[in-house]
């Protein structure tokens, strides 16, 4: 039976949907959307918050008794900056979970595989639970797994593009090979994309832009929740397998006897 | 190929004639395309495109919402000196203008910075005139050292420097650079900069390259609208931005749209830039470059700034004073007259009421590696 729960490094989460906090029109709507999504993991860009300020507007809107606050290193251009951000977050009292993003190009925000690997290696050794955002590269996933990241987070399409699951063939390989949870991180632009990722076998999805920039972000968050729930239920029900070729209804070898 | 070389490939008048002779059919065809080329961008800047501002606005708004969300990054300037050896005919700091000349002491810089920080500003833009004898690179480095711990990020808008000099300031905490070419037309550039170090067109043109080479995270460019035919001018601004984005792939490029406002000296511009001209320039640029940051300062009046919100703008200043020491004591030594004089709090309240999140902090100086 496929569990509704997502387990990362021994910690159980009741939702397979994670949400981001960027691009919202304000912190109130961000908090309401997070609530409606049913997510238990909420990621926040360290660049946007002051982790040392108890009055920080965004942080004050995230109830850490309900959510795992997952700080991310968005904006870091190399391993050194990413490691520095992660350490600052931990020093300020955040849990040692870090969504590792090393995105030297400020436009498509595509992850740098070399610097991400270097940073992951350092952070894992320092005791962080590292969730790395990466391109849908099966070999890189295995390499990251080997050094001890607690998930891999391949992208479905460039971040913020809302284009859906464009890396489908590589994602299939990643899902097939992974020992750690696979979280499809970027490019999910519609509830159907999220459902597809889960149906394909991804363990979870992370959605931000599609919710934050929707006409009604709270309603859209609910739609994503329902889509993810539907896909989780479908997995539990046992997805009928898809076949590349038609299967003859009369077996060709039915005449054989033992 | 440097941008100086690229610019030499274009004849200003040919580009201008091309832009001014486009038809409504040309514009309609461009608006049906997914990818806007350089030529398409020129079409969108044409007089013919003025009839298409509404569909352009809808598309620019959609792109901006997708790329940036409903957010506006807030910054504020600190002017530390209005001493200037240049004689830019359009500028309040022109050395011939009889304005009070003020260079802040370190204590005064800190007092101004404290007032600005207390207003809620976390992204600071340090501005001076060009007078290296009064304000040298090492003076600026000292100022950056004073400011770096009071703000989340620090950009500079000072005289053009070498890569090495920019590195010195970067090591003192500066991570953003703003440098306007003013005009991409060489003849006009020579005319409006009759004397001073700023006369060197190419040194200024390649300044953003030197900043990016020194590792600045953001580089802001722009033309001073009104010095030349704005359509042709903004075409070259767009080309310059695209060149920088391609060459310095780790640097975020922003574009500003300053219009000439009243400044000391009573300069008469080549043309008066109407609201619809500013809007068209901004929309065309957003359709051409989806990810460039677009900046609107307090040069623009409050009402105009509110209208511009959904059209592609991503960064705005607020509560600005353009004279050194002006946050604590106003005087006449302004670079330009601030048209939107609302406080930071008032401006942010307006943004919230219109469904935008004023982003006070989008970086942290502690993330930078100190050498």
pLDDT over 80 (residue B190): yes
**What's the CATH number where B255 sits?**
3.20.20.70
Q: Taking CB atoms and an 8 Å cutoff, what residues of chain B touch A53?
A: none
- Classified as helix, coil or strand, B6 is helix
Percent of chain B past pLDDT 70, that is, above it, reads 97
Do A105 and B369 make contact, defined as CB atoms within 8 angstroms? no
pLDDT over 80 (residue B369): no
Distance CA A175, CA A17 (A): 17
A158–chain B Cβ distance below 8 A for any pair = no
pLDDT over 50 (residue B371): no
- Classified as helix, coil or strand, B111 is helix
Q: Which residues pair with B79 in a beta bridge?
A: B127
Percent of chain A past pLDDT 90, that is, above it, reads 71
pLDDT tens sequence across B133-151: 899 999 999 999 999 999 9
Residue A6 is assigned to a structural domain of this protein? no
Instruction: Look at residue A224 in the predicted model and tell me its pLDDT.
Output: 98
- Classified as helix, coil or strand, A245 is coil
Residue A47 is assigned to a structural domain of this protein? yes
Query: Chains A and B: how many Cβ contacts under 8 Å?
Result: 76
B369–chain A Cβ distance below 8 A for any pair = yes
CA distances (Å), origin B357, targets A28, B34, B313: 10, 29, 13
Do A47 and B367 make contact, defined as CB atoms within 8 angstroms? yes
Mutation for B interface: A32, A86, A106, most B CBs within 10 A: A106
A118 catalytic? Reply is no
ipTM: 0.71
Q: In which region does residue A127 sit, left (phi positive, over 0), alpha (psi from -120 to 50) or beta (all else)?
A: left
Beta-sheet pairing, A153-154 with A68-72 = unpaired
B247–chain A Cβ distance below 8 A for any pair = no
When CB atoms are compared, the residue of A26, A75, A104 closest to B357 is A26
CB A164 within 8 A of CB A193: yes
pLDDT over 80 (residue B370): no
When CB atoms are compared, the residue of A26, A48, A209 closest to B66 is A209
pLDDT over 90 (residue B282): yes
Distance CA B255, CA B178 (A): 9
**For chain B, how many structural domains are there in total?**
1
Residue A28 is assigned to a structural domain of this protein? yes
Residue B3 is assigned to a structural domain of this protein? no
Calculate how close chain B gets to A254, using CA atoms only, in Å. 55
A92 is in which domain, residue-wise?
A: 12-237
| Range B213-248 burial, b when 16+ CB lie within 10 A, else e | bbbbbbbbbbbbbbbbbbbbbbbbbbbbbbbbbeeb
Question: Does the CA dihedral A75-B347-B317-B131 come out positive or negative?
Answer: negative
Residue B152 is assigned to a structural domain of this protein? yes
Beta-sheet pairing, A11-13 with A17-20 = unpaired
**For chain A, how many structural domains are there in total?**
1
Mutation for A interface: B249, B354, B355, B361, most A CBs within 10 A: B361
Q: Which of A75, A142, A86, A78 is nearest to A114 (CA)?
A: A78
pLDDT tens sequence across A135-149: 999 999 999 999 999
CB B63 within 8 A of CB B174: no
Calculate how close chain A gets to B252, using CA atoms only, in Å. 6
Q: Which of A167, A173, A217 is nearest to A21 (CA)?
A: A217
B367–chain A Cβ distance below 8 A for any pair = yes
Do A106 and B251 make contact, defined as CB atoms within 8 angstroms? yes
B362–chain A Cβ distance below 8 A for any pair = yes
pLDDT over 60 (residue B213): yes
Residue B82 is assigned to a structural domain of this protein? yes
Distance CA A161, CA A167 (A): 13
B178 is in which domain, residue-wise?
A: 60-360
pLDDT over 80 (residue B278): yes
When CB atoms are compared, the residue of A27, A48, A76 closest to B362 is A48
Over range B263-286, report the average pLDDT. Answer: 87
pLDDT tens sequence across A174-213: 998 898 999 999 999 999 999 999 999 999 999 999 999 9
Residue A165 is assigned to a structural domain of this protein? yes
* Stretch among A112-126, A159-173, B202-216 having the lowest mean pLDDT: A159-173
pLDDT over 70 (residue B336): yes
B68–chain A Cβ distance below 8 A for any pair = yes
- Classified as helix, coil or strand, B184 is coil
- Classified as helix, coil or strand, B246 is helix
pLDDT over 90 (residue B266): no
Do B357 and A24 make contact, defined as CB atoms within 8 angstroms? yes
Beta-carbon contacts of residue A11 (< 8 Å; ≥ 6 apart)? A68
According to the 3-state scheme, what is the secondary structure of A161-195?
Answer: CCCCCCCHHHHHHHHHHCCCCEEECCCCCCHHHHH
Catalytic site residue from A23, A66, A99, A118: A99
* Residues 203 through 222 of chain A touching chain B, CB cutoff 8 Å: 209, 212-213
H helical segments located in A62-137 = 79-91, 113-125
Q: Which of B261, B258, B316 is nearest to B92 (CA)?
A: B261
B353–chain A Cβ distance below 8 A for any pair = no
pLDDT over 70 (residue B51): yes
Residue B25 is assigned to a structural domain of this protein? no
When pLDDT is cut at 50, 70 and 90, the band that residue B115 belongs to is: very high
Residue A135 is assigned to a structural domain of this protein? yes
Over range B31-38, report the average pLDDT. Answer: 90
Do A104 and B249 make contact, defined as CB atoms within 8 angstroms? yes
Do B67 and A49 make contact, defined as CB atoms within 8 angstroms? no
Residue A250 is assigned to a structural domain of this protein? no
CB A99 within 8 A of CB A71: yes
When CB atoms are compared, the residue of A48, A85, A107 closest to B245 is A107
When CB atoms are compared, the residue of A108, A162, A212 closest to B69 is A212
- Classified as helix, coil or strand, B191 is helix
Distance CA B113, CA B69 (A): 30
**What's the CATH number where A139 sits?**
3.20.20.70
A114–chain B Cβ distance below 8 A for any pair = no
**CA gyration radius for chain A?**
19
Q: Which residue of B has its CA nearest to A189?
A: B66
Q: Taking CB atoms and an 8 Å cutoff, what residues of chain A touch B217?
A: 77
When CB atoms are compared, the residue of B65, B291, B359 closest to A213 is B65
Beta-sheet pairing, A97-100 with B252-256 = unpaired
pLDDT, greater one: A254 or B249: B249
Q: Taking CB atoms and an 8 Å cutoff, what residues of chain B touch A162?
A: 66
């Amino acid at each position: 039976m496929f569990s509704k729960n997502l387990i990362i490094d021994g910690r159980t989460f009741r939702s397979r949907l994670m949400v981001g906090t960027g691009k919202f029109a304000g912190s109130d709507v961000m908090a309401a959307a997070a609530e409606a999504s049913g997510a238990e993991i909420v990621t926040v860009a360290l660049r946007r918050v002051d982790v040392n300020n108890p009055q920080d507007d965004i942080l004050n809107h995230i109830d850490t008794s309900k959510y795992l606050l997952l700080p991310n290193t968005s904006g870091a251009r190399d391993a050194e900056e990413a490691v520095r951000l992660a350490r600052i977050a931990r020093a300020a009292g955040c849990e040692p979970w870090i969504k590792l993003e090393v995105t030297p190009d400020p436009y498509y925000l595509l992850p740098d595989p070399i610097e991400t690997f270097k940073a992951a290696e350092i952070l894992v050794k320092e005791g962080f639970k590292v969730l790395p955002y990466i391109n849908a590269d099966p070999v890189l996933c295995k390499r990251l797994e080997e050094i001890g990241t607690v998930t891999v987070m391949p992208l479905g399409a460039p971040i913020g593009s809302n284009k859906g699951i464009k890396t489908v063939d590589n994602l299939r390989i990643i899902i097939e090979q992974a020992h750690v949870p696979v979280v499809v991180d970027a490019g999910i632009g519609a509830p159907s994309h999220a459902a597809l990722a889960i149906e394909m076998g991804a363990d979870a999805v992370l959605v931000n832009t599609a919710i934050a920039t929707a006409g009604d972000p709270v309603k859209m968050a609910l739609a994503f929740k329902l889509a993810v729930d539907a896909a989780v239920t479908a997995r539990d029900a046992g997805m009928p397998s898809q076949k590349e070729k038609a299967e003859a209804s009369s077996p060709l070898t039915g005449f054989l006897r033992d | 190929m440097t941008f100086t070389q690229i610019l030499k490939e274009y004849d200003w008048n040919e580009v201008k004639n091309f832009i001014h002779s486009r038809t409504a059919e040309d514009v309609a065809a461009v608006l049906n395309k997914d990818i806007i080329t350089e030529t398409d961008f020129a079409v969108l800047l044409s007089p013919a495109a003025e009839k298409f501002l509404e569909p352009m606005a809808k598309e620019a708004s959609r792109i901006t919402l997708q790329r940036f969300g409903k957010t506006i990054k807030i910054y504020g300037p600190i002017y530390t000196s209005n001493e200037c050896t240049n004689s830019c005919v359009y500028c309040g700091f022109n050395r011939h203008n009889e304005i009070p000349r003020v260079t802040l002491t370190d204590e005064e810089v800190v007092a101004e910075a404290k007032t600005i920080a207390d207003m809620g500003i976390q992204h600071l833009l340090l501005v001076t005139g060009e007078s290296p004898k009064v304000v040298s690179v090492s003076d600026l480095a000292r100022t950056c050292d004073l400011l770096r711990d009071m703000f989340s990020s620090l950009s500079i808008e000072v005289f053009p420097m070498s890569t090495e000099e920019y590195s010195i300031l970067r090591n003192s905490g500066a991570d953003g650079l703003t440098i306007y070419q003013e005009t991409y037309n060489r003849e006009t550039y020579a005319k409006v900069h009759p004397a001073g170090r700023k006369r060197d067109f190419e040194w200024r043109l390649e300044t953003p390259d030197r900043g990016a080479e020194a590792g600045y995270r953001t580089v802001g460019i722009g033309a001073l609208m009104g010095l030349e035919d704005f359509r042709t001018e903004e075409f070259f601004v767009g080309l310059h931005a695209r060149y920088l984005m391609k060459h310095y792939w780790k640097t975020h490029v922003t574009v500003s749209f300053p219009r000439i406002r009243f400044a000391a000296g009573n300069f008469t511009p080549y043309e008066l830039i109407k609201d619809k001209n500013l809007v068209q320039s901004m929309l065309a640029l957003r359709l051409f470059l989806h990810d460039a940051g677009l900046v609107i300062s307090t040069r623009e009046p409050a009402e105009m700034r509110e209208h511009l919100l959904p059209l592609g703008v991503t960064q705005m200043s607020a509560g600005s004073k353009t004279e050194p020491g002006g946050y604590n004591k106003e005087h006449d030594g302004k670079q330009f007259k601030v048209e939107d004089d609302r406080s930071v709090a008032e401006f942010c309240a307006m943004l919230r009421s219109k469904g935008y999140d004023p982003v006070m902090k989008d970086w942290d100086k502690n993330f930078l590696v100190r050498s």
